[in-house]
Amino acid sequence: MTDLNFTHRFVPAQESPAPRALLLLHGTGGDENDMIPLGRDLDPTAALLSPRGNVLENGMPRFFRRLAEGVFDEEDVIRRAHELADFVSAAAARYEFDPNRVTAVGYSNGANIAASILLLRPEVFAGAVLFRAMVPLVPSALPNLAHVRVLISSGEHDPIVPVENAERLAAMLRTAGADVTLRFEPAGHALSLGDIEAAKSW
């Protein structure tokens, strides 16, 4: 059944009716509280929806299973991407935000599940900010993402996500029609101030 089957926080918008919303997606070991301050900083008036990943890896919440660092259980990625996409539409009905004005903001594992939803459920997001994302899966056919804006903010020295992997993700989303900005921060896997500033001006 499609229901609100994620532990989550919701912060109402400061505008109405049918406000836009940010879907905030934490990294491995995070929870529904982590991204709230960043979300408010990026958009002072949007509704904020922040779920906790349903998968546990040694007690650390994630949004899908992995076999090793950077090696994903693709079947689980697909299943969890659909589960989260269904959660977003159920939450839009429950909390009365506009399902056509949802922007994902994800870090690391959260960015990877957001990229998976872009590839598998192209109707869910109007935009996506992907911090330290990589190619999460290669779909059998590319979706139509002509209506979607994407910012990929990657680390030049990220030991987990090689530069060419971030470039491959950008190319894939562009081929699907998305309006993609790919930028590199002189940083590793951790976020830095430059990432936040870039997301704000994007």
Residue among 70, 139, 177, 194 that touches ligand MLT (CB under 6 A):
70
Part of the chain binding ligand MLT (CB under 6 A), chosen from 64-72, 79-87, 88-96, 171-179: 64-72
**Within positions 123 to 162, which residues make up the interface with ligand MLT, using CB under 6 A?**
160
Tell me whether strands 66-68 and 55-57 are parallel, antiparallel or unpaired: unpaired
CB of 49 to ligand MLT, least distance (A): 20
DSSP for 108-122 reads THHHHHHHHHHHH-T
**Within positions 77 to 116, which residues make up the interface with ligand MLT, using CB under 6 A?**
108-109, 112
SS3 155: strand
Q: What's the CA gap between 135 and 109, in Å, rounded? A: 11
User: Binding of ligand MLT at residue 69 (CB under 6 A)?
Assistant: yes
Helices (H) and strands (E) in the chain, counts: 5, 11
Catalogue the active-site residues: 108, 158, 189
Q: What's the CA gap between 47 and 11, in Å, rounded? A: 6
Residues at the site binding ligand MLT, with contacts judged by CB under 6 A: 27-28, 66, 69-70, 108-109, 112, 160
